[in-house]
Amino acid sequence: MKNPHLALMAGSALLVLTGHAGAHGDEDHSQSAPPAAIATVTTAAAMPGTSTAPQRLEDGSLFVPKAAQRQLGLRTRVAVVQELAVTVELAGTVVADARAGGLVQAGQAGRVEATGAGLPVLGQAVRKGELLAQLRPVLSSMERGSNLAQIADIAAQLAIAERKVARYAQLEGAVPQATIDAARLERDALRQRRSALGSGLSQAEALRAPISGVVSAAHAVAGQVVDAKDVLFEVVDPARLSVEALAYDPLPAGGVTRASAAVPGGALDLAYVGSGRQLREQAQVLLFRVQPGGPAVAVGQPLTVLATTAARVHGAAVLRSALVKTATGETAVWVHTAAERFVQRPVTAQALGALELAVTQGLAQGERVVTDGAALLAQVR
């Protein structure tokens, strides 16, 4: 039977030899694993094709795999460098067409009274000549007393005239017919004067719609006392609106050929009507008519009018959504240079239309510009 003490000593020696072989000369093996993992990540970053997440490369370009491009909804457009019309930006305001809008004003001081249907409300459709409200005259005590005194005086004169006519009727044949006719005319005139003064004290003024359209503003409340010339209602035809724009700089030769304006929900197509010959706020006033089919706008709404002129500029047309701001505040676009590579390109652009810009510097013919999702690419780190 073998000695158990010898077996125990042999096992201890084997453990010591094994421990020396695994430690590699007293090295801490726990510190060796992280560098190997870091090296693996660095290798993956150096080889974009092995990663599935968008990455910013050392040269500043982006590596975006195809799957990520679909998730970001990236869309591109081929840049076509050509002669484009010069467009100027003008500050504009939506106004009612002078031939399709009107005001309802008080002709005198009075109290507003509702009709049987009540006072009109915003957005209510009305027809030309429709009764909107009534205005009951409001007179001071002195004015009312003066009118009552005139009525009493006329009543006395009328009583005398009626007796005269009755006496002449009894003497018909003895009194010339011309005298009888004159007495009757005087009686009728006094009756009309009395009626006119009496109705002026109580008769209400009818306030009617000047045109057919919708009520765009209502400033009247039942029982409200208003002065003469106060605007009570505004009526416009929403299908016939205009835009007034201010041009602080002279327009290029040839004038405006077409115009548009970006508004929530789309863009307005504007037809140039003409310009005024009187400055307003040191600017020339231009009038445009809103073409049908565009999004709804309200009278008084401010907007930016992009007027296309006859002048030309050399550049490529891109959507406004393609432009982004760099970290230094410069304007740039993203160019799709390879299947999974995007490069940011500083550009110079100017207005071209409500939805487009003209890039005059920074793009070459045929380059693919990112139009949708450009802002998302700028967030890739």
pLDDT at 250: 79
pLDDT at 50: 53
pLDDT at 241: 92
Q: Please, which contacts does 37-46 make with residues 24 or more away whose CB atoms are closer than 8 Å?
A: none
pLDDT at 34: 42
Q: How confident is the model at residue 334 (pLDDT cuts 50, 70, 90)?
A: very high
For 301, the token pair is 């709404």
Q: Which of 264, 256, 320, 266 is nearest to 289 (CA)?
A: 256
Global pTM? 0.55
Q: Which of 328, 281, 288 is nearest to 304 (CA)?
A: 288
pLDDT at 341: 92
pLDDT greater at residue 281 or residue 12: 281
pLDDT greater at residue 98 or residue 242: 242
CB of 101 closer than 8 Å to CB of 211: yes
Tens of pLDDT, residues 122-180: 989 999 999 999 998 887 667 777 777 888 888 888 888 888 888 888 877 777 888 88
Q: Which of 317, 340, 335 is nearest to 374 (CA)?
A: 335
CB of 81 closer than 8 Å to CB of 315: yes
Q: How confident is the model at residue 254 (pLDDT cuts 50, 70, 90)?
A: low
- At residue 293's C-alpha, the angle toward residues 289 and 295, to 5°, is 85
Residue 189: exposed, middle, or buried by beta-carbon count in 10 A (0-12, 13-18, 19+)? middle
Percent of the chain whose pLDDT exceeds 90: 29
State the average pLDDT for the chain: 81
DSSP label at 283? B
H or E segment and range at residue 366: none
In sequence order, what DSSP letters do the residues of 165-226 get, joined into one string?
A: HHHHHHTBTTB-HHHHHHHHHHHHHHHHHHHHHHHHHHPPEEEE-SSSEEEEEE---TT-EE
